[in-house]
């Protein structure tokens, strides 16, 4: 067994959270400021995992991976040595800490375990295995987080169609603020499901609103990329207005679902001297706020 090292980015979501679990579309973007490094050094002793706090989780994920490989006609034999994890991705912050760990482990397992006679590409195998492991954290993973972490590019994602690269070379500048509040993705999913049961008509309308937010974000991102390349400042400003409107719309959806903690509401107040849009990114109930500031947004 040879030494192995890989880096994977964190991620964030611009629009489409929760509705993606019901067949909707979502836009996910890698977050290069946050990432995870997995290193393996072969040795003669049984597998040693550092930091020790990660040992229990990784051993559980190895069991899940073994079952996945068995279903695919292969066996997973973890080699002896030292496996180390280094990550600056905040836990339960909406930046894909569990997806990053799952993708990095899947990449490592597939580097030394051969699966033959399968039409899948290495990337789809990596995402499939990582999704299976991420279920351990979320109960039911959409596959979106592992897809954007694995591919490392902005994507449009659906559960039926998978990930499609948006082909963007230039993105607007987004700012991220930590609310300091942490919550489990499972809890936020359960909260949305409870809302849908209690308010079925309103729930469908909210899903439609989030779909519009995805449309607006896509339009804005594509316009921004094109106008940036042509150095069209007015075009960039108009593009940012689409993205800002998308963010305000999805923030409204999160508010109605009950996913915006009361103590964070002041972060979304709009000063008359500041043109901006802000929303929580990820499952909600805390985590990080993403903010877009520009001169051409609507008042």
For the segment 190-240, what is each residue's pLDDT rounded down to a tens digit?
999 999 999 999 999 999 999 999 999 999 999 999 999 999 999 999 999
87-98 per-position pLDDT tens digit: 999 988 899 999
Helix (H) or strand (E) holding 253: helix 233-257
20-39 per-position pLDDT tens digit: 999 999 999 999 899 999 99
Q: What is the mean pLDDT of residues 146-175?
A: 96
Confidence class for position 299, pLDDT limits 50, 70, 90: very low
Contacts of 181 (CB under 8 A, 6+ apart): 261, 263, 264, 285, 286, 287
**Residue showing tokens 């409204």:** 252
Per the structure block, which two tokens stand in for 100?
Answer: 């990053």
Q: Can you give the pLDDT at residue 123? A: 75
2: left (phi over 0), alpha (psi -120 to 50) or beta: beta
Is the bond into 51 cis (omega within 30 degrees of 0)?
A: yes
Using alpha carbons, select from 65, 34, 62 the residue that is nearest to residue 49: 62
Q: What distance separates the 2 farthest-apart alpha carbons in the chain?
A: 65
* Distances in whole angstroms, Cα of residue 290 to Cα of each of 45, 71, 173, 191, 282: 45, 40, 10, 22, 10
Q: Note the CATH architecture for domain 4-165.
A: 2-Layer Sandwich (3.30)
Angle at 107 between CA 101 and CA 108, to 5 degrees: 90
Cα–Cα distance, 214 to 93 (Å, whole number)? 22
Least confident of 28-32, 62-66, 76-80, 114-118: 114-118
Per the structure block, which two tokens stand in for 199?
Answer: 């308010």
Q: What is the mean pLDDT of residues 275-291?
A: 91
Cα–Cα distance, 148 to 136 (Å, whole number)? 18
Q: Note the CATH architecture for domain 175-293.
A: 2-Layer Sandwich (3.30)
**Residue showing tokens 């107040």:** 269
**Residue showing tokens 């964070």:** 264
Return the percentage of the chain with pLDDT > 90, whole number: 82
Q: Can you give the pLDDT at residue 70? A: 93
Q: Provide the whole-model pTM.
A: 0.91
User: pLDDT averaged over the chain?
Assistant: 91
Cα–Cα distance, 188 to 44 (Å, whole number)? 44
Q: What is the mean pLDDT of residues 129-149?
A: 91
Q: Would you list the domain boundaries of the chain?
A: 4-165, 175-293
């Amino acid at each position: 067994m040879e030494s192995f090292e890989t880096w994977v980015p964190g991620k964030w979501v611009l629009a489409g959270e929760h509705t993606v679990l019901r067949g909707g579309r979502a836009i996910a973007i890698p977050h290069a400021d946050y990432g995870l490094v997995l290193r393996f050094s072969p040795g003669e002793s049984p597998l040693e995992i550092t930091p020790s706090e990660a040992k229990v989780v990784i051993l559980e994920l190895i069991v899940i991976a073994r079952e996945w490989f068995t279903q695919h006609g292969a066996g997973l034999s973890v080699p002896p040595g030292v496996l180390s994890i280094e990550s600056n991705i905040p836990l339960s912050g909406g930046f894909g800490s569990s997806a990053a760990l799952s993708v990095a482990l899947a990449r490592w397992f597939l580097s030394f375990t051969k699966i033959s006679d399968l039409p899948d590409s290495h990337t789809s195998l990596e995402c499939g295995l990582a999704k299976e492991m991420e279920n351990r954290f979320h109960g039911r993973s959409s596959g979106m987080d592992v897809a954007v972490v694995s591919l490392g590019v902005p994507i449009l994602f659906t559960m039926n169609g998978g990930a499609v690269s948006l082909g963007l070379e230039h993105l607007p500048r987004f700012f991220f603020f930590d609310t300091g509040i942490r919550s489990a993705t499972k809890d936020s999913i359960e909260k949305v499901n409870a809302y849908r049961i209690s308010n079925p008509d309103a729930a469908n309308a909210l899903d439609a609103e989030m779909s519009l937010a995805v449309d607006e974000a896509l339009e804005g991102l594509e316009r921004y990329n094109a106008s940036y390349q042509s150095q069209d400042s007015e075009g960039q400003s108009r593009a940012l207005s689409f993205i800002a409107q998308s963010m305000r719309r999805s923030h409204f959806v999160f508010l109605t679902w009950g996913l915006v903690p009361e103590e964070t509401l002041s972060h979304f107040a709009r000063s008359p001297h500041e043109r901006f849009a802000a929303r929580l990114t990820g499952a909600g109930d805390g985590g990080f706020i993403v903010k877009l500031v520009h001169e051409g947004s609507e008042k």
